[in-house]
Chain A
Amino acid sequence: MKAFDCAIVGAGPAGMSAAIELAQAGADVVVLDRADRAGGQIYRSAADSPLPDAARLGPDYAAGADLITRFEQSGATHLAGADAWHLGDDGRILFSYQGETRELHCREMLLCPGAMERPMPIPGWTLPGVMTAGAAQVMLKSDAVVADGAVFAGSGPLLYLIVAQYLRLGVQVAALVDTTPRQHFFDAVPLMPRALQQVGNLRKGLSLLREIRASGVATYRYAEKLEVIGNDRATGLRFAASGRQHEVSADTVFLHHGVQPNLNMSRAMGLAHHWNSGQMCWQVTVDAFGQSSVPHVSVGGDGAGIIGADGARAAGRVAAQNILFRLGRISKADRNQRVRADLNDLSALKPFRRFIDCLYRPTEALRLPRDAETLVCRCEEQTLGDLRKGFEQGARDPNALKSLTRCGMGPCQGRQCGHVVTGLLAQWRAESPEEVGYYRLRSPQRLLTLDELGRYGTVQAEAAK
């Protein structure tokens, strides 16, 4: 079995940046990524876009192409299409690659699982035709597919970005329904002066909003009481804004209200996590270098708390330098000197992040379902009412609730419902999310055929010969 100095899981901005640093320093590094091309979510297909004019997606996306090229030339082993399904805290990784389960060992592991969109369980959110803004991005970046006449609802930079990208490409947008509450603007004002240190980022955001406004697309602000209209599939969105009820007809409804760390790898490994009350989500507990509660496992990028692509690149480089130190390749003094600039940049990002987090923090009305019949667990079709009944039968812990109701037992392993369940139990128990906790997760990280697992071990034995 091949043993590496470092294995990186995830080839997004953090993973690629870390791999470049490690490979440059001569470390034997392998990067596993599920996708056929490196890039992660944010830089998906940035180096081989199917779009005739990918530059219209913006300069940040274009910057991804350069990083991908540098990564591909770095000398790091890139296992594209390697889907890790077990990460052991002993440094053993089991992954599916070309239909077989393979195994590798590493001295140091760097998880770069990235972020996923926060579910928005409004009435009708599971109807066909309802997707996330992230799904709109994936369709656009991977396949150059767009949905004409869609309504976009929610809040946050990624929502505005995809609307602006749609408009630049000349795609019809039915409406932008912005749910950012008026109060959030007041709350964010005191954080503004320090956020201004990151004037570039602020300007980027403002220009997006200006671009949308200038396009003349119907925009509703301070929207509340969102509800997808439709019986068998979405036909539009109903909501209240400026004291009136509105209905916008659309075949496609894109929802978004922020992203949260993708927890499944780090949870299944048993790393320590804590609740981030600013971002209203769980995140892995790491030190300044990204080192987790298991010293030889580090976490970089959005997986350790949402920081965005630029922050993820810096965090990846910092984690890499620390790993080089742990591998004995550089001294502590060298590490400290090499990470100084990136650590400064990361702490400079913080006031801006706090401003964004405050302005766009997910409201409880959108974070938690309201109606008893609204689905919480899509895989096992468990509604709010089902969960409430389970709670009343004494299931106060997320795992007890899972065992009793099957909520979170399906193939997504709680990716969709985990945060909602923590939120609901916290509300019902009148306790903090930290006291409530999260699901105990296990490998496999994804569905695995009996055939494939059955060959595990025999494949290894043949390889050893």
Chain B
Amino acid sequence: MKADVLIIGGGIQGCATAYHLARKGASVIVVEKDYSGRHASGVNAGGVRLLGRDMAEVPLSKASMEMWQTLDEDLGHDTGFRRQTLVNIAVDEMDLATAQAREAKMHDAGFTHERIIDQVELRERLPHVSPGCVGGVISDLDGYAIPFKATSAFRLAAENYGAQVIEGEDILGLRRVGDAWLAQGARHRYEAETVVNCAGAWADKVALMIGDNVPLSHAAPMLMITARMPHFAKPVVGAISRQLSFKQFENGTVLIGGGAKGFADRANNRTRLDYAKLAAACRTTAEFFPIMRKASINRMWAGLEAYMPDNLPVIGPAVNASRAFHAFGFSAHGFQMGPVVGQVLADLVTGGQCRFNLSPFRIDRFDRKVL
């Protein structure tokens, strides 16, 4: 099978890249070893979050946030996106000091989308928060989406523009011959001018086939969701220094995250849960929101996610091969960036450049470090 661009990985980054490329008229094949959205892209918490981002990510994240606001119309498919204020709670004065220090830094860099709120406003926004909490930081642009739906929306939109998504196809080998990339899949062979690595928790293997080494690790962040509850929290809830993170959906179910990690069994394509850590997440949630005590947990799960040592993604060209690009290692906060990353990669593939400074995301940024 032949195409201009071969994208490896059918998650949100791969599908968004396929969408932007196909829209520009490129012929695109996406290969996905399981099914599109099977891993991190489809099972994450769905946070569409600008608040609290690493400074290096803020420009990309801000651009992506603008794209999210009209994404459903642009793609012609439902992503489940809802704009909803995100509140990071300050449980004590020390948290507030942290928030103030960050605010000063953000203002220096010219970013004004985060705002500190006091105890009164916190209680107005979250009447059920425990009385001890002293304030927080909010971002009004934030929101959430339904991860699998959003990934599917990109896939369907890419397919509308002629991209082909081949599921259940594992890439076993990749080589550069002359001006072409030749890929050997378990089912088919592929030939493309350009290859894009969006392989998530498996991206280090693909990078190696391309010729780049990368210190990628993987882990299994865990989530729980409750049965329907009366509506008690409109904003999405986070915390400055605690592992507190939840959102209540329109159907009343409450998704609890917090970043606790289970056991990642990448070789067997599965994860296991660590109940002691989930129990701790329950205690934290109930401590700050006593109304949650009686909530019934309906499901718990974990997904396989790729992490970089500095928790920043790899986005940009390969360093040891031509006509190859990477976008992976989002370290549990890549879902929100999907729309802009797709655009960035499409720009890189078609024109060789993009409007963002990608140097913090170079794949070889750890090569130069000497211990």
Known: A447-B227, A451-B286, A451-B294. A442 touches B155 (CB 8 A): no
Find residues 79-121 in chain A having any chain B CB closer than 8 Å to their own CB. Answer: 86, 94
- A394: which of B38, B152, B292, B296 is its contact (CB, 8 Å)? B152
A455 touches B279 (CB 8 A): yes
Known: A404-B149, A404-B152. A457 touches B294 (CB 8 A): no
Please name all residues of chain A whose beta carbon is closer than 8 Å to the beta carbon of B298 when the two chains form the complex: 409-411, 447
Find residues 409-427 in chain A having any chain B CB closer than 8 Å to their own CB. Answer: 409-411, 413
B283 contacts the other chain (CB 8 A)? yes
Find residues 266-319 in chain B having any chain A CB closer than 8 Å to their own CB. Answer: 270, 273, 275-276, 278-280, 282-283, 285-286, 292-301
Please name all residues of chain A whose beta carbon is closer than 8 Å to the beta carbon of B295 when the two chains form the complex: 449-450
- B156: which of A393, A413, A454 is its contact (CB, 8 Å)? A393
B42 contacts the other chain (CB 8 A)? yes
A451 touches B275 (CB 8 A): no
B273 touches A443 (CB 8 A): yes
B276 touches A456 (CB 8 A): yes
Complex CA distance for A455 and B297, rounded to whole angstroms:
14
A409 touches B299 (CB 8 A): yes
Minimum Cβ distance to chain B for residue A432 (Å):
16
Q: Residue on B with the closest CB to A410?
A: B298
A404 touches B148 (CB 8 A): yes
Known: A403-B148, A450-B282. A394 touches B36 (CB 8 A): yes
Q: Which of A397, A403, A410: most chain B Cβ within 10 A?
A: A403
Please name all residues of chain A whose beta carbon is closer than 8 Å to the beta carbon of B119 when the two chains form the complex: none
Q: Residue on A with the closest CB to B285?
A: A450
How many interface contacts (CB-CB < 8 Å) are there between A and B? 90
Minimum Cβ distance to chain B for residue A354 (Å):
35
- A397: which of B35, B299, B301 is its contact (CB, 8 Å)? B35
B37 contacts the other chain (CB 8 A)? yes
A456 touches B297 (CB 8 A): no
Q: Residue on A with the closest CB to B149?
A: A404
A270 touches B270 (CB 8 A): yes
B152 touches A393 (CB 8 A): yes
Contact with B along A439-461 (1 / 0, CB 8 A): 00011100111110111111000
B226 contacts the other chain (CB 8 A)? yes
Contact with A along B139-180 (1 / 0, CB 8 A): 000000000110010011001000001010000000000000
Complex CA distance for A456 and B274, rounded to whole angstroms:
12
B149 touches A396 (CB 8 A): no
Please name all residues of chain B whose beta carbon is closer than 8 Å to the beta carbon of A444 when the two chains form the complex: 297, 299-300
- B297: which of A94, A393, A396, A450 is its contact (CB, 8 Å)? A450
B296 touches A448 (CB 8 A): yes
B299 touches A454 (CB 8 A): no
Known: A410-B298, A411-B298, A449-B296. A396 touches B35 (CB 8 A): yes
Q: Residue on B with the closest CB to A448?
A: B297
A400 contacts the other chain (CB 8 A)? yes
Q: Residue on A with the closest CB to B272?
A: A88
Known: A403-B37, A448-B296, A449-B293. A457 touches B301 (CB 8 A): no
- The residues of A with any CB-CB pair to B shorter than 8 Å are 86, 94, 270, 393-397, 399-400, 403-404, 409-411, 413, 442-444, 447-451, 453-458
29 contacts across the A-B interface (CB closer than 8 A):
A393-B152, A394-B156, A394-B165, A397-B35, A399-B35, A400-B37, A400-B42, A400-B148, A403-B43, A404-B148, A411-B227, A442-B273, A442-B299, A442-B301, A447-B296, A447-B297, A447-B298, A450-B285, A450-B292, A451-B286, A451-B294, A453-B278, A453-B279, A453-B297, A454-B279, A454-B293, A456-B279, A457-B275, A457-B279
6 extra A-B contacts, CB within 8 A, seeds A394-B36, A442-B301, A458-B279: A403-B37, A403-B148, A448-B296, A449-B297, A451-B293, A454-B283
Q: Nearest 4 CB-CB pairs, A to B? A: A454-B282, A403-B148, A447-B296, A454-B283
